[in-house]
Amino acid sequence: MKKAFSIVAMALIFTVLFLGCEKKDEGAGAAKRTFVTIGTGGVTGVYYPTGGAISKMVNQKFDSYGIKATVESTAGSVFNVNAILAGDLEFGIVQSDRQYQAFKGMADWKDVGAQDKLRAVFSIHPESVTMLAADDSGIQNFEDIKGKIINIGAPGSGQRGNAIDIMEVYGIDWEKDIKAEGLKPAEAAKMLQDGRIDAYFYTVGHPNGSFKEATSGSRKAHFVAITETDSLLKLFPFYAASFIPVKEYPNASNDGDVQTFGVKATLCTSSDVPDDVVYAITKEVFENLDDFKKLHPAFAVLTAESMLDGLSAPIHDGAMKYFKEAGLK
Ligand code: GLU
């Protein structure tokens, strides 16, 4: 019995040792393999296909870099910053305004303080703070949102803070003056069509699937102009004037482009992510910019120079190495 036990024990020890070695070998053999995840946004937004475009560029060169990038759909900017800093994501797409606030320890990061490990990689497409209202909601001007059911965005999204900022400028208290909902953008389009919300905010590049869906149903809808941009920029200088290209949504009830304000989508990472990984991603996107731009219509305006704008956290050393080599810095 004793003998049988020790044979079993020996077998177990060997199995453990063997498995341990196997694991180590796999680790050593896979030293050149790096798996990275890019946090994006809702599947009907532009971050999700943007993450797909970036991962496509880098995965094409798997044989040279050994990097396998995958994309995760998330709640958006604020979630992405926090997940990058917690080490749950290596990269994330983040609105330029949230990048600024996180690095300085403002707004959502007021209590936790400055996020010094946050690093900028490059900026991507412009995003407009967009409000779409149902025609039958009684919302014509922005001020008309008082008393209405408005989706300001789920916690963790970028638009939630933008909605609150602009309401402050208009003297609207989001906790008292409107019935605020916190839905994901993919749900918001359907809820508007179902008559369960009057309007929704979404800070997003154009064109995008959410507004295509929300303007194509039987309940007619229109974009609402946000005109108090001068006062907004005085209070929050990290925003810029912008507009919604209505031609992208032929079923919207607007006649022409709609005034609003906006930010830029930016790729962020942490100082803990190795330089060679960030270098490879930066290089592949910049060296294949013409191919990259074909992957989404919101990228049409991109130039290598413009992709260094809107970065307020320090540029990651790996990205900086590429920018110096390319003469961009
Ligand atoms: N700007 C949005 C956010 O940060 C996401 C937009 C998108 O997914 O394209 O939450």
Could you tell me the CATH number of the domain that includes residue 290? 3.40.190.10
Which residue among 244, 263, 282 closes a domain? Answer: 263
> Does residue 12 form part of some domain?
no
Section 146-174 average pLDDT: 98
* Vertex 156 angle, CA 153 and 160, to 5°: 35
In terms of Cα–Cα distance, which of 221, 188, 193, 219 is closest to 203?
188
CB-based contact 321:279 (threshold 8 Å) = yes
- Check residue 22 and give its pLDDT: 37
Which residue among 263, 282, 307 closes a domain? Answer: 263
Which residue among 246, 263, 280 closes a domain? Answer: 263
What is the average pLDDT score of the chain?
A: 92
| Cβ of 129 below 6 Å from ligand 1 | no
The yes-or-no verdict on residue 23 having pLDDT over 70 is no
| Cβ of 210 below 6 Å from ligand 1 | no
| Cβ of 157 below 6 Å from ligand 1 | yes
| Cβ of 51 below 6 Å from ligand 1 | no
The yes-or-no verdict on residue 84 having pLDDT over 60 is yes
The yes-or-no verdict on residue 31 having pLDDT over 90 is no
**How would you class 328 by CB atoms within 10 Å of its CB: exposed for 0-12, middle for 13-18, buried for 19 or more?**
middle
Same domain, 133 and 244: yes
Q: Predicted confidence band at 4 (pLDDT cuts at 50, 70, 90)?
A: low
Sign of CA dihedral 186, 140, 170, 197: negative
| Cβ of 42 below 6 Å from ligand 1 | yes
Residue 50 alpha carbon to ligand 1 centre in Å = 11
Same domain, 80 and 120: yes
| Cβ of 318 below 6 Å from ligand 1 | no
pLDDT in tens, 161-187: 999 999 999 999 999 999 999 999 889
| Cβ of 203 below 6 Å from ligand 1 | yes
Residue 152 alpha carbon to ligand 1 centre in Å = 12
Query: Counting atoms of ligand 1 from 1, which one is nearest the CA of 263?
Result: 1
Q: How many domains does the chain have?
A: 2
Q: How far apart are CA 313 and CA 117, in angstroms?
A: 9
In terms of Cα–Cα distance, which of 312, 266, 232, 199 is closest to 50?
266
| Cβ of 74 below 6 Å from ligand 1 | no
Q: How far apart are CA 18 and CA 32, in angstroms?
A: 23
Q: How far apart are CA 235 and CA 280, in angstroms?
A: 38
Same domain, 221 and 298: no
| Cβ of 161 below 6 Å from ligand 1 | no
> Does residue 8 form part of some domain?
no
> Does residue 1 form part of some domain?
no
Q: Predicted confidence band at 3 (pLDDT cuts at 50, 70, 90)?
A: low
| Cβ of 49 below 6 Å from ligand 1 | no
The yes-or-no verdict on residue 248 having pLDDT over 80 is yes
> Does residue 70 form part of some domain?
yes
The DSSP letter of residue 219 is: S
Q: How far apart are CA 61 and CA 292, in angstroms?
A: 14
| Per-position DSSP letters for 41-60, written without gaps between them | --TTSSHHHHHHHHHHHHHT
- Check residue 16 and give its pLDDT: 43
Domain that holds residue 185: 127-263
Residue 266 alpha carbon to ligand 1 centre in Å = 11
The yes-or-no verdict on residue 24 having pLDDT over 70 is no
Residue 159 alpha carbon to ligand 1 centre in Å = 7
| Per-position DSSP letters for 152-201, written without gaps between them | ---TT-SHHHHHHHHHHHTT--TTTTSEEE---HHHHHHHHHTTS-SEEE
Residue from 95, 108, 200, 264 to probe ligand 1 pocket by mutation (most atoms less than 8 Å from CB): 95
Same domain, 154 and 259: yes
Query: Counting atoms of ligand 1 from 1, which one is nearest the CA of 41?
Result: 8
Same domain, 166 and 225: yes
- Check residue 313 and give its pLDDT: 97
- Check residue 32 and give its pLDDT: 76
Cβ neighbours of residue 118 closer than 8 Å, sequence gap 6 or more: 81, 84, 85, 99, 102, 103, 268, 270, 313
Same domain, 225 and 164: yes
The yes-or-no verdict on residue 7 having pLDDT over 90 is no
pLDDT in tens, 261-287: 999 999 999 999 999 999 999 999 999
Same domain, 175 and 258: yes
| Cβ of 127 below 6 Å from ligand 1 | yes
> Does residue 18 form part of some domain?
no
Q: Regarding beta strands 67-72 and 34-39, do their DSSP bridges make them parallel or antiparallel, or are they unpaired?
A: parallel
> Does residue 39 form part of some domain?
yes
> Does residue 28 form part of some domain?
no
Q: Regarding beta strands 149-151 and 199-204, do their DSSP bridges make them parallel or antiparallel, or are they unpaired?
A: parallel
Section 40-48 average pLDDT: 97
Q: Predicted confidence band at 86 (pLDDT cuts at 50, 70, 90)?
A: very high
Same domain, 149 and 110: no
Q: Calculate what percentage of the chain has a pLDDT beyond 70.
A: 91
